[in-house]
Structure 1
Amino acid sequence: MQNVKNIGLMAFLALVITVLSACQSEKEYYIFTSFREPADEGLYLAYSEDGYNWKDLGGPYLPPVVGESKIMRDPSVVKGPDGTYHMVWTTDWRGGNGFGYASTKDFINWSEQQFIPVMDHEPDVVNVWAPEIYYDDVKERYIIIWASTIPYRFEKGEEEEKNNHRMYYTTTKDFKTFTDTELFIDPGFSVIDAVIVKRGIEDYALVLKDNTRPNRNLKVAFGGSPLGPFDDISEPYTDFLTEGPTVIKEDGKWIIYYDSYGSKTYEAVATENFESFTNIADQVSLPEGHKHGTISTISEDVLEKLKAEAKKK
Structure 2
Amino acid sequence: MAEVPGALNAWAPEMFVDDGGVCHLIWSSVVDPRPDDERDWHHTAQEQRIWHARTEDFETFSEPALFFDPGHPVIDATVLRDDGRFVMAYKDERGDNDPATPHKNILLTTFTEPGGRFTPPIGPVTPPLVEGPSLFRRGEERVLIFDHYAEGGYGALATRDFVSWEPAAVSLPAGMRHASVVELP
Into which bin does the TM-score normalised by the smaller protein fall? Answer: 0.7 to 0.9
Aligned residues: 171
CA distance in structure 2 between the aligned counterparts of 1:266 and 1:187, rounded to whole angstroms? 26
Q: Which residue of 1 aligns with 2:59?
A: 176
State percent identity of aligned pairs: 31
Find the residue that maps to 2:183 and give its secondary structure: strand
State which drifts further: 230-239 or 165-174: 230-239
Q: Which residue of 2 aligns with 1:139?
A: 20
CA RMSD of aligned residues (A): 1.8
Q: Deviations over 1:196-219 (max 9, x none)?
A: 111122x22111110111411100
The answer to whether the Cα contact below 8 Å between 2:7 and 2:33 also exists between their aligned partners in 1 is no
CA distance in structure 2 between the aligned counterparts of 1:254 and 1:218, rounded to whole angstroms? 15
Does 1:257 pair with 2:135? no
Does 1:247 pair with 2:135? yes
Unaligned runs of at least 5 residues, structure 2: 35-42, 96-100
The answer to whether the Cα contact below 8 Å between 2:146 and 2:155 also exists between their aligned partners in 1 is yes
Relative to structure 1, is the Cα distance of residues 298 and 140 closer, same or farther in structure 2, using a 3 angstrom cutoff?
Answer: closer
What displacement does 1:127 show?
0.8
Find the residue that maps to 2:182 and give its secondary structure: strand
The answer to whether the Cα contact below 8 Å between 2:92 and 2:106 also exists between their aligned partners in 1 is yes
- The 5-angstrom pairing of residues 155-170 of structure 1 reads 160=44, 163-170=46-53
Q: 1:205 aligns with which of 69, 87, 109?
A: 87
The answer to whether the Cα contact below 8 Å between 1:240 and 1:262 also exists between their aligned partners in 2 is no
Give, as a single letter, the amino acid of the residue that structure 2 aligns with 1:249. R
Q: Which residue of 1 aligns with 2:182?
A: 296
Unaligned runs of at least 5 residues, structure 1: 1-118, 154-158, 300-313
TM-score (norm 2): 0.85
CA distance in structure 2 between the aligned counterparts of 1:242 and 1:152, rounded to whole angstroms? 29
Q: 1:272 aligns with which of 149, 160, 169?
A: 160
The answer to whether the Cα contact below 8 Å between 1:185 and 1:229 also exists between their aligned partners in 2 is no
CA distance in structure 2 between the aligned counterparts of 1:219 and 1:297, rounded to whole angstroms? 23
Give, as a single letter, the amino acid of the residue that structure 1 aligns with 2:131. E
Q: Deviations over 1:32-58 (max 9, x none)?
A: xxxxxxxxxxxxxxxxxxxxxxxxxxx
CA distance in structure 1 between the aligned counterparts of 2:62 and 2:140, rounded to whole angstroms? 35
Q: Which residue of 2 aligns with 1:126?
A: 8
CA distance in structure 1 between the aligned counterparts of 2:151 and 2:93, rounded to whole angstroms? 17
- Higher relative helix content: 1
What displacement does 1:152 show?
6.7
CA distance in structure 1 between the aligned counterparts of 2:8 and 2:114, rounded to whole angstroms? 26
Q: Which residue of 2 aligns with 1:76?
A: none
The answer to whether the Cα contact below 8 Å between 2:107 and 2:121 also exists between their aligned partners in 1 is yes
Find the residue that maps to 1:197 and give its secondary structure: strand
Relative to structure 1, is the Cα distance of residues 160 and 151 closer, same or farther in structure 2, using a 3 angstrom cutoff?
Answer: farther
Larger radius of gyration: 1
- The 5-angstrom pairing of residues 1-313 of structure 1 reads 119-136=1-18, 138-151=19-32, 160=44, 163-201=46-84, 203-213=85-95, 214=101, 215-280=103-168, 283-298=169-184
